[in-house]
Amino acid sequence: MQILKLVVDWLDNSPRRVMFAVCLTSLALLAYGLYLQEVVGLVPCPMCIVQRYALILIAACAGLTGATGKKGLQITGAIVVVVLALLGAYVAARQSWLQWYPPEVVSCGRDLYGMIEAFPLQRVIPMIFKGSGDCTKVDWTFLGGSIANWSFLWFSGVAMLGTALAWRQLRQA
């Protein structure tokens, strides 16, 4: 109960800090994802790329929301963060489900060389940003959870935090 009281007090006293914390944590997760891609060599799948876009949008929205002192914009920003987090959670949940119950035929994308051979360059460049890894493959785990599992937890936590923040701000209005 003491932890819940601390969270409620934190939401009441510093909604701007909450949004800045969400922004910074989202940026840190994006940086770690890039580290896993560029240094460790993990190839992101299309669902991973969509989750990255959701993280980028959450970071931008949370940063802008944290920068404003206007209550109406803080409420609107929190609601937008909740919607983005729910979309990210949906994609992460779907990817987790695919990892737990992989389909017989996997179709998450082509490799780069296959795309260059099969398509003209103007079609290949947008395809690169769609990712080329296998969505069902688990290349990395931490405490038994894959990247998609941890992403789902993060997005769900952000959605709950944003909902609580918007609710508290609306009640104080």
Where do the domains of the chain lie? 2-172
Cβ neighbors of 70 (< 8 A, separation 6 or more) are none
CATH architecture of 2-172: Up-down Bundle (1.20)
**Residue 140, number of CB atoms within 10 A of its CB:** 12
Instruction: For 113-166, write each residue's pLDDT tens digit.
Output: 455 556 666 665 565 555 555 666 667 556 866 777 888 998 998 998 888 888
Q: How far apart are CA 71 and CA 73, in angstroms?
A: 5
User: CA-to-CA distance for 59 and 158, rounded, in angstroms?
Assistant: 11
The pTM (predicted TM-score) of the whole model is 0.73
Strands (E), the chain: 141-142, 145-146
Confidence of residue 112 (pLDDT cuts 50, 70, 90): very low
Q: For 5-32, how does the pLDDT look when each residue is reduced to its tens digit (9 = 90+)?
A: 665 565 556 777 888 888 999 999 888 8
